[in-house]
Amino acid sequence: MAISQPATRPGNPRFSSGPCAKPPVFKLENLKDAPLGRSHRAAVGKAKLKAAIEGTREVLGIPEDYKIGIVPASDTGAVEMAMWNLLGERKVEMLAWESFGSGWVTDAVKQLKLDAEVKTAEYGEIVDLDGVDTDNDVVFTWNGTTSGVRVPNGDWIKEDRAGLTICDATSAAFAQHLPWDKLDVTTFSWQKVLGGEAAHGMLILSPRAVERLESYTPPWPLPKIFRLTKGGKLIDGIFEGATINTPSMLAVEDYLLALDWARSVGGMEGLRERAYANLAVVQGFVAENDWISFLAKDPAIRSNTSVCLMFTDERIKDGAGFAKAVAKRLEAEEVAYDIGSYRDAPAGLRIWCGGTVETSDVAALMPWIKWAFEAEIAALSETA
């Protein structure tokens, strides 16, 4: 029996968790002011890069005495730079509850060969944050993009801590409140919450992090692309727009326009409200359907950007195959692209709900998920 399709389709089917949907007002022709074919060290290039740095500070509310740099290799590059430059001075606690946090654990233990205390939790859960000693250095993700789990707050981080907190905030920045007084190193990438283009990362340093950089030299060699100091002093140019390697001025222009759009919707608060409105739509849908649930059971740690869902119907025997089939149906109908769960995560769906996604599109997607679920269940019955 044919199952009727919903009447309404999302206006934008891009629900990928990275690269993420661009702002609703995006048009390629709006990038015409990008200084293509010009040196990023020319006055026009420096001005654009400086505007990207200061626009980031303005929208995110980053303190004036924090340093903000544009670095290569996306969020991954920014996290690696922080770890390779700063770790080793004291004991480090590595916190992981999804694949990217686990990757930082691997780097600390197997590459840097640190005697790290590793604390982990299963997908959908989080480690005991109250048991973390922030007199040690601590490396963690604020929002687990592959698990849909976020840190609820920064209350567990001491104000008078002796260690540094190194926070991968790539799918949290511009969507969740980040307590800057509790974060010494914060990183994110342009292609996440604001839907920028890939390959550029942001590295944000507190005065305490700068002090560590200028007083501590790690025992391992640092490649040129990782070096943040010269002669024991911070390379200030990195944090004023003199990037370590050549940036894409087209991508910079795109990021500047995304920041303009962010201001137009109310800045940080507006972006956060948009993401939570999107999450609320999914929460309402899950509450109405007993065959689907959140991977993160506890609402206090549930992400408002990378929202991860699981199918719970007892008739499903091959969870991974079923979830892939549902995602394939949705993509074939051009109502949702790239919403299968991350390859290392439990089988299910992952819907990006960051601020660049319109709430009306999330609402339009929900009936299609139900349609695809019912169609796949019917297909199972036919082959039984």
Report helix, strand or coil for 230: strand
Q: CATH number of the domain that 97 lies in?
A: 3.40.640.10
pLDDT of residue 284: 98
Q: Does any domain span residue 18?
A: no
Give the model's pLDDT for residue 382. Answer: 83
pLDDT digits 0-9 by tens, 98-142: 999 999 999 999 999 998 999 999 999 999 999 999 999 999 999
The whole-angstrom separation of Cα 11 and Cα 378 is 28
Helical spans, DSSP H, in the chain: 43-60, 74-86, 99-106, 207-215, 249-264, 267-288, 319-332, 359-383
Q: Is 76 in a helix, a strand, or coil?
A: helix
The b/e string for 98-136 (b: 16+ C-beta within 10 A; e otherwise) is bbbbbbbbebbeeebebebeebebebbbbbebeebebeb
12 within some domain: no
Question: How far, in Å, CA of 83 to CA of 108, rounded?
Answer: 8
Give the residue from 163, 59, 203, 148 showing the smallest Cα distance to 351: 148
> Percent of the chain scored above 90 by pLDDT?
98
Query: Scanning the structure block, which residue is given the tokens 């990207």?
Result: 52
Residues 241 and 200 in one domain: yes
Residues 236 and 367 grouped into a single domain: no
pLDDT at 383: 79
So what's the pLDDT on residue 1? 60
Domain identity same for 234 and 307: no
Looking up tokens 């604020």 gives: 142
% helix, strand, coil for the chain, step of 5: 40, 15, 45
Residue 300: count other Cβ atoms within 10 Å of its Cβ.
9
Same domain, 240 and 104: yes
Percentage of the chain exceeding pLDDT 70 = 99
Q: Please tell me whether residues 121 and 248 are part of one structural domain.
A: yes
How would residue 384 be classed by pLDDT, with cut points 50, 70 and 90? low
- If asked whether residues 40 and 180 sit together in one domain, one would say yes
CA torsion, ordered 220, 221, 226, 230, to nearest 10 deg? 110
* Number of domains composing the chain: 2
Q: Are residues 49 and 197 in the same domain?
A: yes
Among the three residues 208, 238, 263, which one is the final residue of a domain in this structure? 263
Residues 235 and 337 in one domain: no
Range of the domain at 162: 28-263
| Same domain, residue pair 294 and 218 | no
Question: Average pLDDT of the chain?
Answer: 97
Distance CA 364, CA 7 (A): 9
